[in-house]
Structure 1
Amino acid sequence: MHQLTYGDVKSAADRIAGRVRPVTLAPADPGSAPGPAELWLALEYMQHTGSFKARGAQNFLQSHRDAGTLPDAGVTIASGGNAGLACAWAARQQGVRATVFLPATAPAVKVTKLRSYGADVRLTGTEYAEALAACQHFAATTGALASHAYDHPLIAAGAGTLLEEIVARLPGLDTVVVAVGGGGLFTGVATAARHHGIRTVAVEPADCRALNAAIEAGRPVDVPVDSVAADSLGARRVSAMALNAAQQGDVRSVLVPDSEIIRARRSLWDHRRVAVEHAAATALAALTAPDADSAPAYLPAPGEKVAVVLCGANTDPGDLVR
């Protein structure tokens, strides 16, 4: 198991500089955060391909390009959608083929976008684990370079570059809030955050709690996958790298119900006309509560400076537009 280091994140930042869009930060409206905290939104859904995944994919393929290890058979990946989009986008930039395996349940908007990047899209099974098995078989039989949606140090390090940019723009940041699926974004962000003395709040749907369950068990374990955000956060098991990152530094693992995820997503649309995925709304849901008598999953201290990562927007906004 590779233990991600801050040096990995810094190397990734140097490698992908100028190849990804710098993150945009926006202050939340007064009163948006519980208590007198200072809340910022990291608008990473404006990244290439519509999610943070472009960072890891660019770092992964550029590293192999630099090492001369990009095969003629191209690259292959299994993905709920966003990692596949990022891989296909980065592969097109590098002039190599991308073969992407997705569950048949992947949103049509992601499948269509994947094909627009020139990817060979293969729909397999109904869960990420089944798509991953097919991808592994394809890589073994064709010689294609196998990437991963989250469980690879180059992918996680690339994701961690997001925190480096946030810190540079928000001096004095206390806390970063991120949604967790398989753990790539969390691993990279938490690793960089630990270096800067920043707390990481890891947010998962109550019924997609791979990291939370791993922390509880002391090892990665399989969990049921049943959430409105499962298309992006539906990993059955978190990576060992993510668990390792969670066991170091100041990390808080919290769970939110689907009802709050849906409400946070609706609120972003109603008040900002921002249409994000349920996965992105999951991070914000940690700071919301259904009524004045309820506490949010994470309650910042007075004056705490908090950045919430809105990680992706590859969604069908039809259910938001009335």
Structure 2
Amino acid sequence: MSVTPTDISAAADRIAGHVHVTPVMTSQAFGRPLQFKFEHTQVTGSFKARGAFNSLLTAQVPPAGIVAASGGNHGAAVAHAARTLGHAAHIFVPEFAGPAKIDVIRQTGADLHIVEGAYADAAAAAAAHQGQTGALDVHPYDAPATIAGQGTCFMEWEAQGLAADTVLIAIGGGGLIGGALAWFAGRTQAPKIIGVETTTTNAMHAALATGAQTDVDVSGLCANALGAKRIGALPLALAQIYGLQTVLVTDDAVAHAQSALWQHMRQLVEPAGAAALAALLSGAYTPDPDERVAVLLCGANPAPIPI
């Protein structure tokens, strides 16, 4: 099933009032004019609230409530949306989700299950719970309602005056970049989308190289946010249609960008939130001198970082 701009427009109407209209800023702090969208200021600290609300508002929620597996941000968003809409939620996260994201989930009052191992283990536990109870499973990235919800970020940004030749977006499972691709699809004047992954969280890069979903080993600084073992089928299909280009950055480059965002712009983001900027600062993506570049900052639930 495809996701269209019409789906995204409908999602924007549906979730209005439940999510923030996040700000944009143009800055020359990094040596050239860059337009930023501060999606890290979204409800629960990431863009995930958009897809979570759209998913719940388009589904019949059973008496057993909602279940979600997450590296942290998706779980926080689903838990918040469930509480707002009056549903019970069971959220499964791996141990490495980190204290900031775990605390956000706990604050919603959801039933939190911390699972030993990696995201795949949390997903297996969530699937078992869904099978036993019939709860509604809200997928973090590979579902039309999720992608349409994330696409509202780009609809909103365009209405705020997005003027870019290129937009840099971090990739985890593919829901966010899938939303961008779905919103801009089919236009002759669409900006170029560049997907940014780390060398140890690179599911989209691997899938585009092989032409099919490919399992990757996941580790490193961004594992609890960008650490999908396999890219979503829907995001991959959108990426293949669009001819998506991806670049890889190191953990050191991400950490540098994270620190630089605080030092130069006083924006506190998690590592994944800085990954898109890391592509520029590290030279993984080198724009032309007159190229207009926009950067999405996507998440702000970090562990404490040295400044």
Using the size of structure 1 for normalisation, the TM-score is 0.91
Match of 1:273 in 2: 266
* 1:272-303 deviation digits (Å, cap 9, x = unpaired): 222101001111111113xxxxxx11122233
Match of 1:292 in 2: none
For residue 30 of structure 1, report the CA deviation from its aligned partner. 5.2
Q: 2: distance between equivalents of 1:271 and 1:231? A: 25
For residue 171 of structure 1, report the CA deviation from its aligned partner. 4.6
1:301 aligned onto 2:301 = no
1:261 aligned onto 2:270 = no
Question: Contact 2:29–2:265 at 8 Å: present in 1 too?
Answer: no
In structure 2, stretches of 5+ residues that fail to align are none
Note closer, same or farther for the CA distance 1:283–1:171 as it changes in structure 2 (3 Å cut): closer
Question: Contact 1:104–1:124 at 8 Å: present in 2 too?
Answer: yes
- 1:1-322 to 2 correspondences below 5 Å: 2-29=1-28, 31-33=30-32, 38-64=33-59, 69-196=60-187, 197-249=190-242, 251-289=244-282, 296-316=283-303, 318-321=304-307
Q: 2: distance between equivalents of 1:252 and 1:116? A: 38
Matched residue SS, 1:201: strand
How many residues align? The count is 305
For residue 193 of structure 1, report the CA deviation from its aligned partner. 2.5
In structure 1, stretches of 5+ residues that fail to align are 290-295
Matched residue SS, 2:242: coil
Matched residue SS, 2:141: coil
Matched residue SS, 1:70: coil
Question: Contact 2:29–2:264 at 8 Å: present in 1 too?
Answer: no
Using the size of structure 2 for normalisation, the TM-score is 0.95
The one-letter amino acid paired with 2:259 is R
The one-letter amino acid paired with 1:232 is A
Matched residue SS, 2:142: coil
Q: 1: distance between equivalents of 2:265 and 2:163? A: 26
Question: Contact 1:44–1:312 at 8 Å: present in 2 too?
Answer: yes
Note closer, same or farther for the CA distance 1:254–1:120 as it changes in structure 2 (3 Å cut): same
Matched residue SS, 1:248: helix
Question: Contact 1:76–1:146 at 8 Å: present in 2 too?
Answer: yes
The one-letter amino acid paired with 1:301 is D
Matched residue SS, 2:167: strand
RMSD: 1.4
Note closer, same or farther for the CA distance 1:129–1:171 as it changes in structure 2 (3 Å cut): closer
Question: Contact 1:198–1:250 at 8 Å: present in 2 too?
Answer: no
Question: Contact 2:141–2:175 at 8 Å: present in 1 too?
Answer: yes
The one-letter amino acid paired with 2:244 is V
Question: Contact 1:199–1:249 at 8 Å: present in 2 too?
Answer: no
Match of 1:293 in 2: none
Q: 2: distance between equivalents of 1:304 and 1:135? A: 44
* 1:112-157 deviation digits (Å, cap 9, x = unpaired): 2211101100011311111111101101111111111111110111
Q: 1: distance between equivalents of 2:186 and 2:29? A: 30
Question: Contact 1:76–1:144 at 8 Å: present in 2 too?
Answer: yes
For residue 5 of structure 1, report the CA deviation from its aligned partner. 2.1
